[in-house]
């Protein structure tokens, strides 16, 4: 067979849409994976998640609703008025496609053929590209039956949202191997294993953390079964999930829990993972940014990524140039924090100012006005070898050898101690210097990609907050509000956290304060872009908190509060007292919110004073 027909694939998406039960979703995905041909597995998985390529390498259609109205009108010979009217009734252009497409007969197009056409559609650029996109997209849709055109419309609009994530695909892959139904040749040793589905899942997830490309992982497993997992490795240019930190309330507890630690300053900049490969040339960027790199023709391959795996190379032309000058290695992957500093005083700048680099324009000016330091605290890969399984101490020795000088790139200072007093003094110094706090790391620990455990611990202090730390939450919807706010069309919003165990978002609070007028406007605009007709399937939301406008869970915000209390009404089991917005966390993804375990821990910690800096203990 030449591959799965796109119509069959759409039927799978249809049944996936009809359930919100995790086990059922996993079972359906497993069956879909089983039925797919090896060669199409990666593309099929990407499409089921609503994108074309692994997200770090993403390719956007840049087709908004207005344009889709034209596309549907063109594809199915209807007037734009009619499409708009139906859109008003349905609230979803995929459903509109289903309604206006009269074609019941499935085509013989395969997943791979459609994927190719969709890639062509997404890469149309230059003059007249709008018109060309309308033509191409209508041709793609007009060929297909009702159900297929419904899902293709949603794929093009990036609104697939079937309520499962890459982690559910990992569960399905584990099940597939467990049931021994991959296409791997029977004689391969991998088909004989005695791992449980859970153990298999852990194994696959570990690989996903160093290579967040679920399509490729699925394909390799389809081709080689369990053995395929061994072929998955770190690669320069493919971001690695960043290690994260646990939190503890005071230095004493840190030493009790970790023993001797490496203490580092915690800078409030932005996480940067830097990849360099001298055997390749600097790849092309979007055309309007070519001039950022004056010596681009002589530059090696350098890419930077956020902790959210998004590429940010265009924000850091200065880091790219500095990496070329200061790194003495053929290929590396580094981890660190980039932070802006004041040219005159040398002081580090607040997070928001460093983040000016996020803007699309004016990067060249920002490089001059707000220079950056890249404080490197780890090395994950060197000259073809993965270093994550070496202890931190050894990784740092290697890092010391390859970083030359301390201009833009600088190795992060650390201090080793098992003495509580010294740690207190160090954290006091950090706060005096206006830094966020300190990080304490276990010197003999491996780099645990994507993990948040007690090998890295953060200790922060925030004077004005009664809770020791803020909470990262995802916006689930908003309320129109009353009084003055009603003029904005938004007066409050509902937030939740991601519960990995149930693969569901759980609500924790409504927020109605802490936003400046322009932030209310920004939030409304952001939610309106990702609004959905009904509450998202993968969330537990009591009807008491029903929103006026529901959001697809993708906007992450940082919230401060006075207290965490137990709650029987919020599905997270906790609620916040006096919640207020601190900032938008555009560097975080929706499943990267504060975890239920952290919440539990913060609930317990709040009973203690925040950072206990007992002055009498600090030797001057
Ligand atoms: P927070 O909101 O407290 O920054 P977070 O949830 O964004 O936390 P955490 O993993 O809890 O992320 O805290 C670690 C973050 O602190 C890293 O992502 C990094 O950006 C930053 N950081 C600053 N200095 C260091 C350092 N020396 N070592 C590791 N991370 C550091």
State how far the Cα of 21 lies from the Cα of 296, in Å rounded to an integer.
50
3-state secondary structure of 438: strand
DSSP-assigned beta bridge partners for residue 110:
5
Q: What are residue 121's phi and psi, to 5 degrees?
A: -60, -45
State how far the Cα of 71 lies from the Cα of 588, in Å rounded to an integer.
33
Query: In degrees, to the nearest 5, what angle opens at C-alpha 114 toward C-alphas 111 and 118?
Result: 130
Task: Please choose, from the candidates 355, 453, 449, 373, the residue with its C-alpha nearest in 3D space to the C-alpha of residue 413.
Answer: 373
- Name the residue of 246, 266, 274 whose CB sits within 8 Å of the most ligand 1 atoms, as the mutation to test its pocket: 266
pLDDT tens track for 185-232:
555 544 566 788 889 999 999 999 999 999 999 999 999 988 888 889
**Ligand 1 atom with minimal separation from the 270 CA:** 20
Q: Which domains does the chain have, with CATH numbers?
A: 6-157 (1.10.3260.10), 166-231 (no CATH), 244-459 (3.30.470.30), 471-605 (2.40.50.140)
- Name the residue of 239, 243, 245 whose CB sits within 8 Å of the most ligand 1 atoms, as the mutation to test its pocket: 245
What residue's CA is closest to ligand 1, atom 8?
A: 245
Question: What is the model's pLDDT at position 594?
Answer: 92
Ligand 1 centroid to 245 CA: how many Å?
A: 7
Q: What is the DSSP string of 70-89?
A: HHHHHHTT--HHHHHHHHHH
Tokens of 12: 């799978």
pLDDT tens track for 548-587:
999 999 999 999 888 888 899 999 999 998 898 988 998 8
Ligand 1 centroid to 472 CA: how many Å?
A: 13
Low-confidence ranges of the chain (pLDDT < 70): 1, 181-193, 284-296, 358-360, 461-468, 483-485, 607-620
Question: What is the model's pLDDT at position 607?
Answer: 54
Ligand 1 centroid to 311 CA: how many Å?
A: 18
What residue's CA is closest to ligand 1, atom 12?
A: 244
Tokens of 172: 């399905």
Kindly list the protein residues whose Cβ atom lies closer than 6 A to any atom of ligand 1.
Answer: 244-245, 264, 266-267, 271, 307, 337, 377, 412, 439, 458, 472
Question: What is the model's pLDDT at position 103?
Answer: 96
Model pTM?
0.80
Question: What is the model's pLDDT at position 291?
Answer: 62
3-state secondary structure of 13: helix
DSSP tag of 462: -
Q: What positions carry a catalytic annotation?
A: 266
Question: What is the model's pLDDT at position 344?
Answer: 85
State how far the Cα of 61 lies from the Cα of 64, in Å rounded to an integer.
9
Ligand 1 centroid to 16 CA: how many Å?
A: 36
């Amino acid at each position: 067979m030449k591959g799965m027909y796109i119509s069959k694939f759409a039927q799978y998406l249809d049944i996936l849409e009809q359930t919100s039960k995790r086990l059922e979703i996993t079972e359906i995905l497993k069956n879909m994976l089983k039925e797919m041909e090896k060669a199409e597995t990666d593309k099929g998985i990407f499409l089921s998640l609503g994108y074309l390529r692994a997200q770090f390498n993403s390719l956007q259609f840049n087709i908004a609703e207005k344009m889709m109205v034209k596309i549907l009108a063109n594809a199915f010979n209807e007037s734009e008025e009619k499409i708009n009217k139906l859109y008003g009734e349905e609230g979803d252009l995929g459903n509109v496609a289903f309604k206006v497409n009269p074609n019941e007969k499935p085509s013989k197009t395969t997943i791979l053929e459609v994927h190719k056409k969709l890639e062509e559609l997404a890469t149309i650029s230059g003059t007249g590209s709008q018109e060309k996109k309308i033509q191409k997209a209508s041709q793609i849709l007009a060929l297909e039956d009702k159900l297929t055109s419904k899902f293709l419309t949603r794929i093009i609009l990036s609104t697939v949202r079937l309520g499962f994530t890459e982690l559910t695909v990992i569960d399905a892959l584990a099940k597939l191997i467990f049931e021994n139904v991959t296409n791997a040749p029977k004689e391969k040793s991998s088909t004989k294993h005695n791992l449980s589905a859970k153990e298999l899942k852990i194994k696959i997830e570990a690989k996903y953390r160093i290579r967040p490309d679920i399509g490729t992982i699925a394909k390799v497993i389809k081709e080689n079964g369990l053995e395929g997992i061994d072929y998955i490795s770190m690669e320069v240019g493919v971001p690695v999930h960043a290690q994260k930190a646990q939190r503890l309330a005071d230095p004493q507890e840190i030493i009790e829990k970790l023993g001797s630690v490496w203490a580092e300053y915690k800078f409030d900049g932005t996480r940067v993972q830097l990849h360099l490969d001298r055997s390749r040339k600097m790849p092309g960027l979007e055309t309007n940014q070519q001039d950022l790199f004056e010596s681009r023709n002589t530059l090696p391959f350098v890419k930077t990524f956020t902790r959210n795996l998004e590429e940010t190379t265009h924000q850091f032309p200065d880091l790219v140039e500095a990496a070329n000058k200061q790194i003495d290695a053929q290929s590396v992957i580094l981890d660190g924090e980039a932070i802006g500093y004041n040219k005159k005083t040398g002081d580090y700048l607040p997070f928001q100012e460093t983040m000016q680099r996020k803007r699309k324009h004016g990067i060249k000016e920002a490089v001059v006005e707000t220079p950056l330091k890249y404080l490197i605290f780890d090395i994950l890969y060197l000259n073809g070898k993965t270093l994550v399984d070496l202890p931190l101490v050894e990784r740092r020795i290697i890092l010391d050898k390859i970083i030359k000088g301390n201009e833009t790139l600088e190795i992060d200072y650390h201090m080793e101690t098992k003495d509580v007093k010294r740690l207190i003094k160090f954290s006091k110094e950090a706060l005096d210097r206006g830094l966020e706090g300190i990080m304490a790391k276990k010197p003999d620990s491996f780099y645990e990609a994507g993990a948040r455990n007690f090998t890295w611990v953060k200790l922060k202090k925030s004077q004005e907050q009664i809770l020791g730390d803020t909470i990262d939450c995802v916006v689930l919807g908003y309320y129109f509000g009353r009084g003055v706010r009603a003029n904005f069309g938004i007066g409050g919003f509902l937030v939740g956290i991601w519960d990995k165990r149930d693969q569901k978002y759980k609500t924790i609070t409504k927020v109605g304060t802490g936003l400046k007028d322009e932030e209310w406007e920004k939030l409304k605009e952001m939610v309106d872009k990702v609004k959905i007709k009904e509450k998202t399937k993968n969330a537990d939301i009591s009807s008491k908190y029903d929103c006026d406008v529901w959001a697809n869970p993708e906007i992450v915000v940082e919230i401060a509060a006075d207290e965490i209390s137990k709650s029987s009404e919020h599905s997270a089991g906790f609620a916040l007292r006096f919640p207020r917005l601190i900032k938008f966390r555009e560097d975080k993804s929706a499943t990267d919110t504060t975890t239920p375990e952290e919440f539990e821990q913060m609930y317990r910690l709040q009973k203690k004073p925040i950072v206990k800096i007992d002055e009498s203990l600090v030797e001057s």
